[in-house]
Amino acid sequence: MENRPLISIALCTYNGGAFLREQLDSILAQHYTEWELVIVDDGSTDGTRSILEQYAARDKRITLHYNEANLGYNRNFEKALRLCRASLIAICDQDDIWHPEKLEKQAALIDRHTLVYHDSEFVDAAGNSMHRRISDKLNFYQGHAPEVFLYLNCVSGHSILMKREVLEKSLPFPPDFHYDQWLAFNATCLGSIDFVPDALVRYRQHGGNSTDILAFKKAGRNAAQKVLEMERESGWLGLCASQCTGQAQQLITSLHRQSIRRNNSLFNVAYGVLIWQNRGTLLRILKKSATSQFFYTLRKIWGAKVKMIGQ
């Protein structure tokens, strides 16, 4: 049999006892067996620790780490990733269910790429199919253009298998931004990414999800929150401009400058024009009609002074 590389799987837990056994069982059932599972618990107060110790006693590929103080979601994942030893690293959530061929299919594809991801099926808290996939909402991207990930993201953390160089470029994770989008952006700065079209994870949706891919929580944002998001967008663009070179950096730098002008005025048409002129990359993930893409772009031009009218 061919010598297959070790894959490190980073799993963070926090009060995950309700779903954790299903996830761990699905990892143990992987057809690809050359893996280590690095688990960092962030101060769980339910039965999570007991479950972890039961599984670690059964399989020497599992190592456990416990935080003395709660680090929070992003920092805990950062710690778990730093503890991974392999040149290939996968990210795992505590409440999903992996397809038995997940690691095998991703490992077979990653050779010429920096990161490989896949589609996922939404399931409810009980594990029942919601008959929807991530690809129903977003266009998946294959290539090496980091600009694709400036405004949108189709790479969910739980679907990532990446090379260590991506992690090294991405650490430490910047606060206030999604770590999976950051990893996807840096992976395309370094090389190319690809995806497996199969749904290789049953992606559980429940009240404790840290991400909101189905947009359950976006309704009802007030003006102050919208202004904060706008300012955060500018911060994100500035951060991204510092990570890459060449034409991508030039475009991102221009977008950053125009977004700052937008923030400090009623509106900035030039910002929208720049986005629209580059919509082939900037809006590639947006699975909408040209009309919807236009109105998405139009919403980007309005500054804080407009958003605060009536407040």
- Closest to 159 (Cα-Cα) out of 193, 114, 118: 118
Taken as a whole, the chain contains a residue count of 311
The token pair that represents 255 in the structure block: 């977008």
Residue 84 in this model has a pLDDT that exceeds 50: yes
CATH fold of 7-204 reads: Spore Coat Polysaccharide Biosynthesis Protein SpsA; Chain A (3.90.550)
Positions of E strands within 78-236: 88-92, 97-98, 115-123, 129-133, 161-163, 193-204
Residue 241 in this model has a pLDDT that exceeds 80: yes
pLDDT at 213: 55
Give this prediction's pTM. 0.92
- Closest to 310 (Cα-Cα) out of 224, 217, 220: 224
pLDDT class for 221, splitting at 50, 70, 90? low
Q: What is the pLDDT of residues 260-300, one digit of tens each?
A: 999 999 999 999 999 999 999 999 999 999 999 999 999 99
Q: In which element (H, E) is residue 234 found?
A: helix 223-241
Q: What is the pLDDT of residues 5-44, one digit of tens each?
A: 999 999 999 999 999 999 999 999 999 999 999 999 999 9
